[in-house]
Structure 1
Amino acid sequence: MTPYLDYAATTPVDPRVSRFMARFEGPDGLFANPGSDHPAGQGAAAAVDDAAQQVLGLLDDPGFRVIWTSGATEADNLAIGGLARGVARRDGRRRRLLVVATEHSAVLAAARAAGSAGMRVQTLPVSGDGLLGLRTLESALDDDVALVSIAPVNNETGVIQDIETLAGAIHAVGARLHLDAAQAVGHLPEDGLYRHADMVSLSAHKFYGPKGIGALCYRPALRLEPLLHGGGQQGGMRPGTLPVPLIAGMGEALRIRADQGERTRQRGLQQRLRQHLEALGGVVINGHDDGSAHVLNASFAGIQGTALRAALADLSVGFGSACNSRGGPSHVLRAMGRPDALAHASVRFSLGRFTTESDIDSVAERVGERVRRLRAISPVWRELQAAGSIEDVYGVTTPQRMA
């Protein structure tokens, strides 16, 4: 079986989570509607409450309210769209929304929708290594900013933002902070990270839980408007019968989330893969060196992107974000100053709980063989070898660090 190195797109459900979820299925399970008053419903409601406690344990802050959603995409839309609707209904003066240029497409699309609803959206640029600078943020902040949305860990590059420092500037002007933490769970030391936030989006299938369940965690003082309408479940914020097995699975996945030992193991695997790839030469590693251990994004100079994707089609790796089906160059890499041709010839390798050294070596060997084959017939690669400057060959001024 081909090794799986696309954990940033989705993770397998951990067998321990699957066994736990089985308790909530079938006629003898806790399958009842948690909104029902009878004993079976009360048992299901207790399971939902237990899962909520796991979420609050992750956040290390009981001051959040947990709203169950279908995943981080819905949570992002509820955070941004719900706040925009609330501002519009109150005719508040804070009508500006700041989003980082490298955010997930769910955040960027939700921001665009908020713009059509009367919010003024401003996109914040990042440096060549993907970091949002404090000065860049401060220059955009004022007392008309309602919300800033930042991913602690980028889904394509693994870049880690300095949330503690950025949050201080945001709260200094009275704005709110939303964290799209889909890629952060299990990959960052928590240490009070989420206490700096006003809203946090989570998605269970990114940390070995089931697909179709996530959460928006928000401060009760925030006056959000619901996006869906129906019954009174979850205080009317997200109506509909709660999927108890999925919620319970998410809670169990949080209970067994990765610790520092697993992060250290994955860092070793990431460095092993990086050494393999850089030995090929002509490789640009996209993202800050101190990024998350589970993601390595590399561009292969001298190769056409479509040819590279075709050559690697049988490998379970990523090209940009799995949620972006347009197939063009990654907006994340373009925001980091990568030329379109180089951004298109990039691969996201993402590791996980079940990745082994043999997986790394096998994928690296296959990638290396195919990259060498493509470069052997590439005039751009010959030009690059002759010129020695990736900036000259690709016609860009942004420095590109090439191994």
Structure 2
Amino acid sequence: MAAGLVISAPASGVGKTTLTLALARAWRNRGLNVQCFKSGPDYIDPAFHAAATGRASVNIDSWAMDRAEIAHLVSRGANADVVLAEGSMGLFDGVAARGVSGTGATADIAEMLGWPVVLVIDPSGQAQTAAAIAAGLRDYRAGVRLAGVVLNRVASPRHEDLVRRALNNAGIAVFGALPRHAEISLPKRHLGLVQAEEQVEIGKLIDEAARFVAEHVDLEAVLRAAASWSPQSGENGLNVTPPGQRIALARDAAFSFVYPHMLEAWRAAGAEISTFSPLADEAPDASADVCWLPGGYPELHAGKIAASARFRDGLRVFAETRPVHGECGGYMVLGIALTDADGVRHEMAGLLGLETSFAKRRMHLGYRLAELAAPMPGHQVGARLRGHEFHYSTIIAQPDTPLAVVHDATGTVIAETGSRRGQATGTFFHLIAEDR
């Protein structure tokens, strides 16, 4: 039987990921099997979790997934000693309108699974007020249980004492307090953390974080506060249809944003996946029956993609007879051109008429519900797909047949409809799940 915990906070940027990685590695170093999950649609953190634990991590999302799908995904923690779900944003932050089983808030997962919450509190610029915030989060929603807090970035022993006393007076356990420590700061870029696979020193960084947290946090007390947990039945699995029997998947530093649970579901349904690297000027496998370009950072590699003639020519030949689909960054690469942040225009594959620019950045962020107006690999007209969009590109042109009617989480129709031309399709959102 595993011990389950949720790591959350009042807001983003206070150290949830660092604490999750440090706890996972510290317990692993003590001989425990640790399984991590990511609550919400963030597709970067699961790779960090895997680096810390040696076990694949997946996203669980109450807006896009039903309870059976979430139960199926978390059942992989059945043979672990400790199960950690890292939250997104603040504990109760989600969208205004309820999705499949919740609003996407971390609190939904905590209540659904019965796992108590460890709050990461950054008391910078305050003292006793930190206790008021923690107490408010503890009492805000019945069914969500607070285990205690870990203080992060405390300024001094006196500062720590003031905050600890206030928390103790509020009846809230303090598991530890972390002074500022620049050596365990994770590098960031415009879509969040720099990806784990891009950081050659990630193992050393996680080891240092584990050492630092073990020195300042009572690991045994945190473990005692966890809930004993046995997975519920999730026989129905994920409602995911693979886009083909043999899938050529672009995979490198420019094409890396793909949800791990999607790839697992494709394989579980019998699909075979072969990877290729556009940055290495590789073409998709000629024996595949579908090509899939996931999102990533094509804007950081646009010049190299434009110069990869074998990749672009091979993709065009592939699309003459078989479907090609792109998500977000992959969609942009299927277009005619991409202008980078410096204003340089780069020719892309030209399978679609889409043209995008990062010269004038505009954030597009949020859940998406799409009803297909045209077929795409694995899905027919009328299929309802749930996903998430997060990018900073501006649409210069999107002239092709709209792929879908796309709504945001409030039900408002948005302009990012995706496109279809011939065998090529693309969306700005990353697919998470299908509506049952």
Structure with greater strand percent: 2
Bigger fraction of residues in helix:
1
- Using the size of structure 2 for normalisation, the TM-score is 0.29
Q: Which has the higher contact order (CA 8 A, sep 6+)?
A: 1
